[in-house]
Amino acid sequence: HTGVVRRITCVGAGYVGGPTCAMIANKCPHIAVTVVDMNTAKIEEWNSDKLPIFEPGLEEIVKKCRGTNLFFSSDIPKSIREADLIFISVNTPTKMYGKGKGMAPDLKYVESVARSIAEHAGGPKIVVEKSTVPVKAAESILSILRDAQRTNNTLAFQVLSNPEFLAEGTAMKDLANPDRVLIGGEDSEEGKKAVAALVEVYSSWVPRERIITTNTWSSELSKLVANAFLAQRISSINSVSAICEATGADVSEVAHAVGFDSRIGNKFLNASVGFGGSCFQKDVLSLVYLCESLHLNKVAEYWHGVIEINNWQRRRFADQIIAELFNTVAGKKIAVFGFAFKKNTGDTRESSAIHVCKHLLEEEANIAIYDPKVEEKQMRMELGLTTSDDKVDKLVSVFSDPYEAAKDAHAIVVLTEWDEFKTYDYSRIYESMVHPAALFDGRLLFKRKEMESIGFRFFGIGTAP
Ligand code: NAD
Ligand code: UGA
């Protein structure tokens, strides 16, 4: 190791900062990695036996490296001062106020980190945007940092773009074996040196040919485009699911047949009740907003269609439940299996379950939720964002046993694709329900024939009776 980077600080101890730094510490014993956050309770959790996030394989690595070359700290100024390289890995949620409300990403957290770095750097730093940001965000960060240089000539900054492509639930696998690492930087001698320093960090475990270097703006844009393409595939197959339901084609068969074309590929073609998660909607909206700002209205409209189909799919699924339960769900117990936005995570941000439950609550259904990883207070918090607390208290119950959740229910609604849902004794569940009992499969987990032979009225996304 040439050892340009010996100390890394990451600002933001969330779903990205925590796992990414754990992986770097694990693969680079020669680098000391400190993760900081303004949320001191979260830092305490990272230093405890119960980590603030669940990711398969994360705990093992944190336990192995913590205290050796992986540290979690609330002392942001000190950690900035001591670092050679600083990741900015804070949240960039959709803005909920002012200009760009509901569309543009809120960059106030990124900016506040840039200001902290300007204040506490005390010497040269490589600053790395890991947060997902709009194109040209690096320019704003650089302006803030350059201003600090005016009054302190020992300071020097390079800003790199290094977006993260990990998916939740498989974060550690994705980090250990990424399809690619993307690093964007300035096309100057100093810029190239900074890029090389970060390339060297990743080269400890990522094959060099999978480390792509580009200019800063290409890197920033590629992140938004990658998420837009992924979300678009889901909206594409979900739009097809509606055609299947109306015609007797089966969406799994269509996806299989279409995905066999190597140009199309078979991944990410699972029809569902709609994509969730903290990023797809946020990043597609960010791209749409960028296009609008550039007066590329046709392009904005094109990508906005991805979001429209997703909202429509959620609504369509909820409407089908209501229609198939004889147009009235008021007072009926409906079991909801799964609240997380995908399996193997406890994350509920933008989960389609929130939207489907909201529609059912509007119809006064009694919702009985079971999820293997999501805590009750988290579910109530999410539902409380769109439904009054009184109503949530009155109509929502949360179970730690799926059999209890389904007992006396008129229907089961599957909203997350947890593997364990496939292992239950559905004959037993069916017997405990109110008849006729319905199963609404929003994740294509079940075979129609099997469920119908048990006695269920079966409704699966993209399949027709
Ligand atoms: P998160 O909300 O889990 O974590 C962000 C953390 O930053 C929070 O703990 C918050 O307290 C902290 N923070 C905010 N402002 C701060 C400040 N000024 N000083 C110190 N700490 C501060 O967010 P996340 O899911 O880790 O996402 C972070 C970024 O990475 C986002 O831009 C997101 O789009 C992107 N991203 C996320 C994923 C994912 O799977 N979650 C994947 C790829 C990229
Ligand atoms: C996604 C991307 O996959 C990551 O590459 C990216 O880094 C990340 O967003 C981000 O920028 O935050 P993530 O949201 O964690 O990762 O999870 P995905 O596996 O992409 O799933 C997103 C949603 O799409 C989930 O609700 C999932 O159930 C749904 N989905 C996924 C489908 O409905 N069908 C599919 O075929 C695939």
One DSSP character per residue, 66-99 reads BTTTEEEES-HHHHHHH-SEEEE----PBP-SST
- For ligand 2, the distance from its centroid to the CA atom of residue 332, given in whole angstroms, is 32
Q: Is the dihedral of CA 343, 344, 350, 355 positive or negative?
A: positive
pLDDT (average), residues 203-208: 98
- The residue written with tokens 């399809």 in the block is 179
Distance of CA 431 from the midpoint of ligand 1 (Å): 45
Ligand 2 contacts CB of residue 270 (under 6 A) = yes
Residue 1, pLDDT > 60, answer: no
Mutate to test the pocket of ligand 2, among 161, 175, 234, 348 (most ligand atoms within 8 A of CB): 234
The whole-number pLDDT of residue 465 equals 83
- Tell me the residue type at 208: R
Rounded to 5 degrees, what angle do the CA atoms 451, 457, 460 make? 70
Stretch 368-390: mean pLDDT, rounded? 96
- Which ligand 1 atom is the nearest neighbour of the CA of 278? 41
Å from CA of 277 to ligand 2 middle: 7
251 or 464, greater pLDDT? 251
Q: Could you tell me if the CB of 14 is within 6 A of ligand 1?
A: yes
Q: For 171-193, write each residue's pLDDT tens digit.
A: 999 999 999 999 999 999 999 99
Give me the residue label for tokens 């949360």. 398
pLDDT, residue 3, reads: 66
Of 462, 25, 425, give the one whose Cα is nearest residue 6. 25
Amino acid sitting at position 91: N
User: What pLDDT score was predicted for residue 379?
Assistant: 97
Q: In this predicted structure, what is the pLDDT of residue 4? A: 87
DSSP SS3 for 327: coil
Give the pLDDT confidence of 73-94 residue by residue, as tens digits: 999 999 999 999 999 999 999 9
SS3 276: coil
- Rounded Cα distance, 13 and 121, in Å: 20
Of the listed ligands, the closest to the CA of 167 is 2
- Domains annotated for the chain, with CATH where assigned, are 7-206 (3.40.50.720), 215-465 (3.40.50.720)
Question: Which residue's CA is minimally distant from atom 28 of ligand 2?
Answer: 342
So what's the ipTM on this one? 0.98
* Residue of 311, 310, 319, 357 lying closest to 337 (CA atoms): 357
